[in-house]
Each structure stands twice: as structure tokens, then as C-alpha cells.
Amino acid sequence: MSSITRPASITGRRLPNIWDAAALLFVFGALVALSNSARGTLVPLDALETSAITLDPRHLPDYALRTTLRMFAALAASLLFTFTYAPLAAKSRRAGLIMIPILDILQSVPVLGFLTFTIAFFMSLFPGRVMGLELAAIFAIFTSQAWNMAFSFYQSLTTLPSDLDEATKSFRLSGWQRFWRLEVPFAMPGLVWNTMLSMSAGWFFVVASEAITLGDNTWKLPGIGSYVALALEKQDVGAVFWAILAMLVVILAYDQLLFRPLVAWSAKFRFETTASATAPDPWVLALLRRTHVMRVAGDAVERVVGTVTGLRLSWPTFRAAPTRQSSRGGDMVFGAITAVIVAWAVWKIVVYVSDALSWGDVGEAFLLGLFTLLRVIILMAMASLIWVPIGVWLGLRPAWARRVQPVAQFLAAFPANLLFPPFVIVIVYYHLNADIFLTPLMVLGTQWYILFNVIAGAAAFPGDLQEAAQNFRVGGLLWWRRVILPGVFPYFVTGAITASGGSWNAAIVSEVASWGDSKLSAHGLGAYIAHATDAGDFHRIVLGVVVMSIYVVLFNRLFWRPLYAYSSRRTVM
């Protein structure tokens, strides 16, 4: 099963330390500086008004294409970031000290809250032109993709098998050769898996970032997201369903044409020396591997890639260093520089926040955060109660598991915000309580992670243990408590962590909803950030994002990671 690969956010250090605090302050100092410089440079864009979005379904293929292109532009940027940031952090001990906590914070931050700053920033780069908006949208997607990819690559780089590492050194491979022969291949399975998770997150953001409201201005880039936003304004149910259909087709295509083959192909790089049962090739990969023309083309590509990656671009850089302590002086200089930057960040934040906010605002944000936290916890519990038994039932029946697994993965990739409108229509129509009935939207897209991980766990449950349980006639509640739940627990935790992270992000778009003129809003930190964005209130956006980040980071560090460490300790023989 492909899902034995873990998302990058759950492994690693557990308890927060001083570097985490430094990283947190650093990230937000940068954020404040960005928003400070961007504020006031907002210029209305006239160009977009002329090429207005229409709800004619015939334009949908064009919109879908543009949306997809933005996705892939962001993906390319994310890969570039991954291949530079992660090696730098892995190879310099000092840089890693601060770069990794920064990455860790960034991947826990609700990126949707960034949107406002980045749009303001990019528009000030290209005043009055669509380019700024396009770049802002691509950047928004990038921020949802890059961190966990880089983190995954970093983790691979720091866990290279020592014998292969020694082999590359003793055969004197150059840095470039080592990168392509050892480091990238070893990281490949984790990287592909995290890229897939990133893409799912990306669809969510591309939809949210195309139609932008900032203060009094609203811009819509041509794309599915804008199409949906317009449909909501115009209360056009038919258009909403057309958009959902278009997205289904797009996701199906990218899933079948790109990721299925990629995941199957990356299995080749899995670090195991025993041959394990392999799933049949997905049809696209089979086509590529078995068609003669494709093979010839593939071989040619492989030859070129092999030659390029085999170039000795640098002299062997490895020199065995005598085992000694690292230089204290260097550490102190590095520490001092970090301290100065952090102090600057603190000063920036304090000045900025105290400008317009009081302690009361901070308290309010934390209280609203508590509401959202409560929602996340309740929903995770409910989703677990529903999907764990179903997942176990499916996973123990291979015929079913094979059929359902791809569907669950597909649903996890589908941008759930496209599915919000039908729910909103129902809530508005029946005048339901927004505080309660908007809540399920948070897990609409993320619950599937729980399902497909549990299916994978149950499917991988050892047959002999199952037989032993049957032999001793362990049944009923005892079977759940002693046999299957502990067995699928690590898988469940993996899925739940991904789902919980996604739910926080979804809060920003799911705690407020609108249908034509009727606006729905629940009490929570997500709604707080969303309202602040609508009002163009930079101070409250910063406050909201910071508070939410603190919640997410603490929730991850104090709850999920210990749980994950516990589960992986307990299930190893």
C-alpha cells in the first residue's frame, strides 16, 4: 500500500525548544514586515474588469486549464525550493538549527491567512497589472505545497543509509553525482507521496486564491475558483454543479495520468532489499513501459538524464574530518546573529501589534481559537468513530479494499471548498444554526485521510495475528480493543494528523459562507481571520494567523507527535 509513506509533518523532534520559539518569532517578524510594506500600495486593477468571468459552462474547460497551469507552476517552484532549501539545511549543522524549525512552523501555519499579505506584496511589485495577481495566486499555492516537500526531503537526507553513504564516499563520487545517485533516489518515495499530499492541498488553495477580496476591492482571475465565487454571488445552482463536474474531470485526469504512475514508479526507489509483493502497474505506466515506441523514447530520455546526472560537476568534496568538537566560536557568532534577527522580529511584531491592538483583542483571538480547537477535536472524534470501523471492515476484505482505496485517495485530493455551496444552500434555506452546521465543512475534504490510512492499516494487518485471534476465539469488543485497534493505530494516527492539519486550514474558509446576499458566520478563529481579510484589517489578520499558528504548533507538538511516537514504539516487535 502506498500509504505506508508518512507525511513529513509527524516525525522528528517532539517537545518545543528555544529554536522553535526563535523560528516562530522569525516567521512572524517577516510576515509583519511584509504586510507593513505592502499596506497602502493597493491599487485597483482595471484590466481585470474588462475580461470578466462568465457563468457560461463552455468557458469552463479554459478556466480549468488555467487553474491547472497555476497548480503546476507552483509545483515547479516548490520542487526548486525543496532541492535548494533542504540540502542547505541538511548539510550545514548551524543553518539546520534554525532552518528546520522555520520549516516546521511554516508547515503548521494556516497558509490561507497569508493570502492577504502576499497579494498586497505581489501587486505592489506589478502595480496595475494582472501579473501581480497571477503571481500571488501561484505563491499562495506554493505556500501550501512547499514546506512538507522540503521537510520530507530533509528527513531523507538526514537518514541516508550509512553504508550507501560510505560507498559513495569511498568510490569518490562528486557532489553532483552523489545528489542524483544517492540522495534524490533515496528521497523519492517520500517526496512523491508528499508531493501528492501537497497537490491535494494546492487544489484547495487554487480555488480559494483566484477570487480575492481585499478591503473594498474584489478581483477574479479566470479559473474555476472565480467561476464558483461568481456562481455563489449570482445564486446559480447549475453553475456550481458544472464547476464541481469540471473539477472532478481535472482531478481524475491528473490522478490517473500523473500520480498513479508516479507513485508506482517511485516504488522502485523504496529502500528495501527484499522483493515484496508489488501491485500491478497503473494503466498509464503499463502503457509507457510496454509500448515499443514509448520504451525507445523512454530509454533515450534515460540516457540523457543518466549522462547529465553522471557528470563530475565538482571535485570530490568529501574530506574525512578528524573527530573533534565543532568550533565554539563559530557557534557563538551564529547564535548572536540569530539572536539579533529574532530581537528585530520581536520589536517589529510588538510595534506593529501595539499600534492598534489591545490585550483584549489578543484575549478575544485566543478565545475564538478555543472554539475552533473544540470544533477540530469534536470533528476528528466523530470522523474517527465513523471511518475507523468502516476502514477496518473494508481493509480486511481485500477485494473491497482494492476498489475503495483509490476512491478514498481521490476524494482526499478533491478541493472540498467546491462542495461547500450545496451545504450552504441547505443551511440558508432551512435557517440552521451556523455555529453547528457550518462545522462539518471543516472535515469534508480531510476525513478521507483517516479512511484510506485505516484501510491500508487493516489490509496490512498480519494474517497470523488474525488467525491467532480466531483460534483463541477472541471476538466482539475484546477483538476491537486488543487486536485490531492497536494494529491499525499507527496508520490511524498518520491519517488523523494529516486530517487535523487540513481542518485548521479549512476553518478559514468554512467558518464563513455566503449564498448571494445571505452571509453565514460561525464563531471561531477562522471566521475572525476571514472577516479581518474582508475588512482589510491587517492588524487583526496578523493576530489571527499568529494565534492559529500557536494553536496548531502546540496541538501538533503536545498531542499528535507524542501519540505518533507512542504508536510507532508499541507496534514494533
Partner 1 sequence: MDATVSTASLLEVRGCRQSYHKDSNADLLVLDDVNVTLKTGEIVGLLGRSGSGKSTLLRIVSGLLRPTAGEVFWRGGAVRGPVEGVAMVFQSFALFPWLTVQQNVELGLEAQGVARAERDKRAEEAIDLIGLGGFESAYPKELSGGMRQRVGLARALVVHPDLLLMDEPFSALDVLTAETLRTDLIDLWSDGKLPIKSILMVTHNIEEAVLMCDRILVFSSNPGRVASELAVPFPHPRNRLAPEFRQLVDDIYALMTRRAVKPAASLAPATPDTGFATPLHAVSTNLLAGLIEALAAPPYDGKADLPALAGSLQLEADELLPLGEAMQTLRLALLEEGDIHLTDAGRQFAEADTDTRKIIFGDALRAHVPLTAAIRRTLDERWNHRASAVRFRDELEDHMSPDYAEETLRAAIHWGRYAELFSYDEEADQFSLEDIDTPE
C-alpha angle 486-488-489 in degrees, rounded to nearest 5: 60
Binding to partner 1, residues 16-75 (CB under 8 A): none
Shortest reach from residue 275's CB to partner 1, in Å? 5
Element (H, E) at 220: strand 217-220
Shortest reach from residue 553's CB to partner 1, in Å? 25
Binding to partner 1, residues 529-548 (CB under 8 A): none
Among 81, 241, 318, 344, binds partner 1 (CB under 8 A): 318
The verdict on 264 binding partner 1 (CB under 8 A) reads no
The verdict on 299 binding partner 1 (CB under 8 A) reads no
| Gap between the Cα atoms of 333 and 492, Å rounded | 44
C-alpha angle 457-463-468 in degrees, rounded to nearest 5: 115
The verdict on 327 binding partner 1 (CB under 8 A) reads no
Among 15, 277, 293, 321, binds partner 1 (CB under 8 A): 321
Window of 102-110, 152-160, 253-261, 323-331 that interacts with partner 1 by CB under 8 A: 323-331
Per-residue CA distances from 268 to 160, 177, 188, 473, 512 (Å):
16, 19, 9, 40, 45
In the bound state with partner 1, the residue whose beta carbon lies nearer, of 275 and 293, is: 275
Q: For 258, which DSSP code? A: I
Shortest reach from residue 554's CB to partner 1, in Å? 23
- Return the residue matching grid coordinates 483566484: 210
- Return the residue matching grid coordinates 565543532: 326
Window of 37-45, 117-125, 270-278, 359-367 that interacts with partner 1 by CB under 8 A: 270-278
The verdict on 323 binding partner 1 (CB under 8 A) reads yes
Q: Which among 545, 552, 542 has a CA at the least distance from the CA of 34?
A: 542
C-alpha of 251 from chain center: 17
| Gap between the Cα atoms of 2 and 289, Å rounded | 20
Q: How many CB atoms lie within 10 A of CB 292?
A: 7
Contact criterion met (CB below 8 Å) for 28 and 553: no
Exposed / middle / buried, residue 180 (Cβ in 10 Å: 0-12, 13-18, 19+): middle
Strand pairing class (217-220; 211-214):
antiparallel
In the bound state with partner 1, the residue whose beta carbon lies nearer, of 146 and 182, is: 182
The verdict on 464 binding partner 1 (CB under 8 A) reads no
The verdict on 316 binding partner 1 (CB under 8 A) reads yes
Q: Can you give the length of the chain in residues?
A: 573
The verdict on 274 binding partner 1 (CB under 8 A) reads yes
| Total site size for partner 1, rule CB under 8 A | 38
x/- binding map, residues 158-197, to partner 1, per CB under 8 A?
---x-xx-xxxxxxxxx--x---xx--x--x---------
Shortest reach from residue 572's CB to partner 1, in Å? 11
Which residues contact partner 1 by CB under 8 A? Answer: 161, 163-164, 166-174, 177, 181-182, 185, 188, 268-275, 307, 310, 312, 316, 318-325, 569
